[in-house]
């Protein structure tokens, strides 16, 4: 059986405040073999890991990520919103995550959050840092902005890309091939066995998101997906251990 990649969505986001170092470290403890996270850029051009374009939900501050410096961002508490036990957790930089995973046998899925805010030069900055850590073979860059993925392929043909999309994309494997992408990062309900089988004929793996219930994980494993993006890497690890994959 091909080993299914256990992507921890924003780290172990079901157990810890998302996109924090404790969430990434806990994911490793839970058996994740991949980390999925979101990359944005501060006012002073620093790459940081946060999903929302504003700081409101995870820090309580109204600012946009693009409007604060890294120093200002680091003054925010990104843990207390989840539980008081995590008070004091910070929004990490991409460099911090790459330092953590560098010595480990892990896949890193970097989602570029450049659909609402078109961060200038984001693709080049991310690629430069990935190359500096010599992690090109272990990184997948994904985005809902497929123009950005095309740009990534122009800058770094050696780094894999994955198209993020919701339901209803017709023959997504053919489209992905056309734009030079390497994987399908589809909303979980857009993934059915016959599509997985068709995509496999094109050598196009599926990595569906965000799958949190064991029954849904089980169905996707049986369908033949190559990876699953989940808030609960511990649940998926248990299933994969039982399956032998």
Look at residue 231 and tell me whether its pLDDT is greater than 80.
yes
Q: How confident is the model at residue 2 (pLDDT cuts 50, 70, 90)?
A: low
pLDDT in tens, 191-230: 999 999 999 999 999 999 999 999 999 999 999 999 999 9
Residue appearing with tokens 């991310």? 126
Structure tokens at 69: 């410096």
Mean pLDDT of 43-57: 98
Q: Is 83 a catalytic residue?
A: no
Instruction: Out of 9, 15, 185, 207, pick the active-site residue.
Output: 9
Residue 245, pLDDT score: 59
Q: How confident is the model at residue 34 (pLDDT cuts 50, 70, 90)?
A: very high
Q: How confident is the model at residue 183 (pLDDT cuts 50, 70, 90)?
A: very high
How far apart, in whole angstroms, are the C-alpha atoms of residue 71 and residue 18?
20
How far apart, in whole angstroms, are the C-alpha atoms of residue 7 and residue 56?
26
Enumerate helices (H) and strands (E) in the chain, giving the number of each.
10, 8
Residue appearing with tokens 């029954």? 215
Burial letters 222-235, b for 16+ CB under 10 A, else e: ebbbbbbbbbbbbb
How far apart, in whole angstroms, are the C-alpha atoms of residue 186 and residue 88?
34
Residue 243, pLDDT score: 82
How far apart, in whole angstroms, are the C-alpha atoms of residue 204 and residue 202?
5
Q: For the chain, how big is the Rg over CA atoms in Å?
A: 17
Mean pLDDT of 151-172: 97
Residue 140, pLDDT score: 98
Residue (of 214, 155, 148, 210) closest to 185 by Cα position: 210
| Phi, psi of 8, deg, nearest 5 | -80, 115
Q: Which pTM does this prediction carry?
A: 0.97
On whether the 5-243 domain is CATH 1.20.1090.10, my answer is: no
Residue 244, pLDDT score: 76
Sign of the dihedral defined by the CA atoms of residues 113, 77, 139, 202, in that order:
negative
Q: What are the E-state strand segments in 82-170?
A: 107-112, 139-143, 160-165
Calculate the average pLDDT of the chain: 97
pLDDT in tens, 139-158: 999 999 999 999 999 999 99
């Amino acid at each position: 059986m091909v080993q299914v990649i256990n992507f921890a969505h924003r780290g172990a986001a079901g157990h810890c405040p998302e996109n924090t170092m404790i969430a990434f470290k806990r994911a490793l403890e839970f058996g994740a073999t991949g980390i999925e996270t979101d990359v944005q850029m501060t006012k002073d051009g620093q790459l940081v890991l946060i999903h929302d374009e504003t700081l409101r939900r995870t820090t309580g501050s109204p600012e946009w990520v693009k409007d604060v410096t890294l120093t200002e961002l680091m003054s925010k508490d990104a843990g207390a919103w989840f539980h008081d036990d995590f008070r004091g957790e910070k929004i990490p930089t991409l460099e911090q995550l790459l330092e953590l995973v560098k010595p480990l046998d892990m896949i890193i899925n970097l989602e570029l959050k450049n659909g609402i805010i078109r961060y200038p030069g984001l693709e080049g900055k991310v690629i430069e840092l990935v190359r500096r850590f010599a992690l090109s073979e272990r990184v997948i860059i994904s985005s809902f902005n497929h123009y950005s993925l095309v740009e990534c392929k122009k800058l770094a043909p050696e780094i894999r890309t994955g198209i993020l999309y919701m339901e209803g994309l017709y023959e997504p494997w053919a489209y992905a091939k056309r734009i030079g992408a390497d994987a399908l990062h589809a909303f979980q309900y857009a993934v059915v066995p016959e599509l997985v089988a068709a995509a496999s004929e094109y050598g196009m793996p599926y990595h569906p998101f965000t799958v949190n219930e064991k029954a849904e994980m089980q169905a996707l494993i049986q369908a033949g997906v190559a990876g699953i993006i989940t808030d609960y890497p511990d649940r998926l690890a248990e299933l994969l251990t039982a399956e032998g994959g």
